[in-house]
Structure 1
Amino acid sequence: MRDPPWAATTYTRIQWPGGPSRVGRACHGGGGFPMNRTLQALLAAVSVLLLVAGTALGKAGGVPAIPLNNEQETTGATGGGSGFFSYTIDGDTLCYTLEVTGLTVAPVAAHIHPAPRNVAGPVAVPLATPSGATGSSAGCITAAEGGPMTPAELAAIAADPGDFYVNVHTPTFPGGEVRGQLK
Structure 2
Amino acid sequence: MKKMLSLAALMAATLVFGTAGTATATLWDCECTLEGSQEVPPNASTATGTGSFVLDDVAGTLDYNISYSGLSSNVVGAHIHGPAPVGANAGVLFGLIPGSPIIGQWAGMSTTHTNLVATGLTYVNIHSNNFPGGEIRGQITCTPVTAVEESSWGRVKQLFR
Both proteins in one fold, TM over 0.5: yes
The alpha carbon displacement at 1:85 in A equals 1.0
Q: C-alpha root-mean-square deviation of aligned residues, in Å?
A: 1.8
1:123 to 78, 85, 92: 92
Distance 1:66 1:158, change over 3 A: closer
The alpha carbon displacement at 1:62 in A equals 5.6
2:66 to 79, 89, 98: 98
If asked which structure has higher relative contact order (CA below 8 Å, sep 6+), I would say 2
The alpha carbon displacement at 1:112 in A equals 1.1
TM-score (norm 1): 0.56
**Higher CA-based Rg:** 1
1:156 to 96, 99, 115: 115
Inter-partner Cα distance in structure 1 for 2:117 and 2:137:
19
TM-score (norm 2): 0.63
The alpha carbon displacement at 1:156 in A equals 2.2
- Name 1:139's counterpart in structure 2: 104
Identity among equivalent pairs (%): 31
The residue correspondences of 1:44-55 to structure 2 (distance < 5 A) are: none
Corresponding position: 1:165 with 2:123: yes
Gaps of 5+ in 2: 1-26, 142-161
Task: Give the letter aligned to residue 115 of structure 2.
Answer: A
Higher strand share: 2
Distance 1:158 1:177, change over 3 A: closer
The alpha carbon displacement at 1:126 in A equals 1.1
Gaps of 5+ in 1: 1-60, 144-149
1:73 to 39, 46, 49: 39
